[in-house]
Amino acid sequence: MGPLDIQWYFRAGWVDPKPVKAAYQLCEANLVTGVAHLKKAKTGGFMDNQQFREWSRKAADWGAEYRRTLAARPVRSQVAPGDIARHIAPSPPEQSEGMEEIFEDFERFIVPGMTHCQHPNFFAYFPANAAPVSVVAEYLVTAMAAQCMLWQTSPAATELEIATIDWLRQAFGLADGFSGSIQDSASSATLVAVLTMRERALEWRGNQKGLAGGPRVRIYASGQNHTSIDRAIWVSGIGQENLVHIPVKGDSRGMDVMALEQAIKDDIRAGYLPAGIIGCVGSTGVGASDDIVAISAISKEYNLYLHVDAAWAGSAMICPEFRHYWEGVDQADSVVVNPHKWLGAQFDCTAHFIRQPEETVKTLAIEPEYLKTHGKDNLINFSEWSVPLGRRFRALKLWFLLRAHGLEGLRAMIRNHVKWSGELCERIRQAADFEIITEPMLSLFTFRHAPAGIDDLDQHNLDLVGRINEDGRIYVTQTRIDNKTVIRFQVGQFETMRENVMGAFEVIAAFARSGN
Ligand SMILES: *Cc1c(COP(=O)(O)O)cnc(C)c1O
């Protein structure tokens, strides 16, 4: 960047270009002498531009080679606790070390301690995709050290965030009354929702007065809810006892709606303050989903805030045929979806859709003098929509991703995953010594090995998962449902092909049938 570019940058007019140009020239001169000084003083370590270029290229080459050889690595890291820590120096070095050495240690000591979430045989937890195009965008963001707390601290970041959130809104088929922001995690978005429901119920007195002495704020969610909801309840000061777990029923294991309404009525009678409901579409354990139409009707009747957690399943809503899972979602006050799971945006990237951002801003905005953007009203400062002040530039990778793949490309991938997962489920159903425990919800289902003559099936399946994962060819996890330990299987990686999914059965069956 030269002085001319600087002039261009500040053409918007709130900074006079002349002093900036002078400052830039001074700065450049200082930088040159600064680097020379560093070199002369042999403090070393300061990466000059040429070295930066070379090492960035090496990193890019390494990343491409990593992806090329990914399938040959064990999916789950095979190290024992402490294996990696042993290789890390106990204290920071006093003298500069060479980049060759640092990079070599990265390959020798760090990489073996990595579990490869993008491996085509990763069937554990939920997917954590990093489409190469989003990795490239992240690299650019990192190079700029973007800081996106206010419009002013990176106008492009704010304006692209507004645009990409609206792209996602359209892609998921959400009503145009939603706006939103990009957060680091679904946990953060849910915390913001819980804080907003708390403050709305308390008529915005909680932040000032605290919760002591006030009525008991009550939040309702299904017994299948994600632990991020419990955490949000703790952090917001509402307290675990005031998170009312509603029992689930039916095949979709959604909240029993009559029980939900009864719990609200009982709480009102007891003098408590019902504040909000957290619905879930696609729970982490088995894909449990609440009837959003029914619970949104209750939220309206009792004037409660409704937050919908579709952190994993939400990505699949780019396919219209799956939208029945969250029918009624347009009635929610907020919705959270993680494009960093199934959609391929490099972690971290959480879309937090909000109906009434004024309520969230009223809950979270704080404006010390140094953050005021005088004379620039009506601008969105996204730090007022979330808990942290500093914010990464997360919209760029979404923009790159959605443009490079197109919605059709992403839909084809998700449809394949759902189809292959269904095929595998049928294959397992046919095996006499296995049983399906929960039917596929999108690409997630659970099963267990249940041959005759084994007393403790829970321990048997837990051991089986352990042996499968130590082998390293595939990676699965277990969960508990209906008092059973079961094997959980989901398909969602960009690199996964049908052979990977069907091949998983061979590995699972071989270990299951070989005994301990
Ligand atoms: C993954 C997940 C979360 C938590 O997401 P983070 O972004 O890791 O906080 C919450 N709810 C559901 C249903 C999830 O699948």
* 453-506 pLDDT, tens digit each: 999 999 999 999 999 999 999 999 999 999 999 999 999 999 999 999 999 999
For the ranges 1-15, 46-60, 137-151, 217-231, the lowest mean pLDDT is seen at 1-15
Cα 371 to middle of ligand 1, angstroms:
31
Cα 311 to middle of ligand 1, angstroms:
5
Cα 350 to middle of ligand 1, angstroms:
9
Across 165-185, average pLDDT: 97
* Residue 1 pLDDT greater than 80, yes or no: no
Q: From the CB of 316, is ligand 1 less than 6 Å away?
A: no
Question: Helix (H, G, I), strand (E, B), or coil: what is residue 126?
Answer: coil
Cα 430 to middle of ligand 1, angstroms:
32
Q: Which residue matches tokens 């069956």?
A: 509
Q: From the CB of 342, is ligand 1 less than 6 Å away?
A: no
Cα 190 to middle of ligand 1, angstroms:
9
- Closest of 219, 224, 217, 269 to residue 244, by C-alpha: 219
Cα 3 to middle of ligand 1, angstroms:
46
Cα 275 to middle of ligand 1, angstroms:
22
**404 burial class (0-12, 13-18, 19+ CB within 10 angstroms)?**
middle
The reply to whether the predicted model has a pTM over 0.85 is: yes
Across 108-113, average pLDDT: 94
What residues pair up with 306 in beta bridges, in sequence order? 277
Tell me which of 190, 230, 312, 442 to substitute to probe ligand 1's pocket, judged by most ligand atoms within 8 Å of the beta carbon. Answer: 312
pLDDT at 322: 98
Cα 334 to middle of ligand 1, angstroms:
15
Mention the CATH class of domain 405-514.
Answer: alpha beta
Q: From the CB of 338, is ligand 1 less than 6 Å away?
A: yes
Q: Which atom of ligand 1 is nearest to the CA of 187?
A: 9
Q: Per residue in 267-281, pLDDT tens?
A: 999 999 999 999 999
pLDDT at 42: 44
What residues pair up with 200 in beta bridges, in sequence order? none
For the ranges 2-11, 29-38, 205-214, 316-325, the lowest mean pLDDT is seen at 2-11
Q: From the CB of 284, is ligand 1 less than 6 Å away?
A: yes
What number of helices (H) and strands (E) belong to the chain?
Answer: 15, 13
Domain 163-359 has CATH 3.90.1150.10: no
As a residue count, the chain comes to: 516
Cα 312 to middle of ligand 1, angstroms:
7
Q: From the CB of 283, is ligand 1 less than 6 Å away?
A: yes
d(CA 458, CA 455): 9
Q: From the CB of 350, is ligand 1 less than 6 Å away?
A: yes
Q: Which two tokens stand for residue 259?
A: 């029980």
What residues pair up with 435 in beta bridges, in sequence order? 448
pLDDT at 379: 82
Q: Which two tokens stand for residue 396?
A: 């760029």
Cα 187 to middle of ligand 1, angstroms:
6
Q: Which atom of ligand 1 is nearest to the CA of 280?
A: 13
pLDDT at 152: 87
Q: Which two tokens stand for residue 109?
A: 């000591």
Q: Which residues of 449-467 are buried (b: 16+ CB within 10 A; e: fewer)?
A: bbeeeeeebeebbeebbee
Across 125-134, average pLDDT: 94
pLDDT at 8: 41
Domain boundaries of the chain, sorted by first residue? 3-43, 163-359, 405-514
Tell me which of 229, 284, 347, 479 to substitute to probe ligand 1's pocket, judged by most ligand atoms within 8 Å of the beta carbon. Answer: 284
What average pLDDT does the chain have?
Answer: 90
Q: From the CB of 352, is ligand 1 less than 6 Å away?
A: no
Give nearest CA residue, ligand 1 atom 8.
Answer: 185
- Is residue 41 very low, low, confident or very high in pLDDT (cuts 50, 70, 90)? very low
Detail the DSSP E strand segments found in 260-374.
Answer: 273-280, 305-309, 334-337, 350-354
- Closest of 306, 311, 308 to residue 284, by C-alpha: 311
Q: From the CB of 119, is ligand 1 less than 6 Å away?
A: no
d(CA 365, CA 360): 8
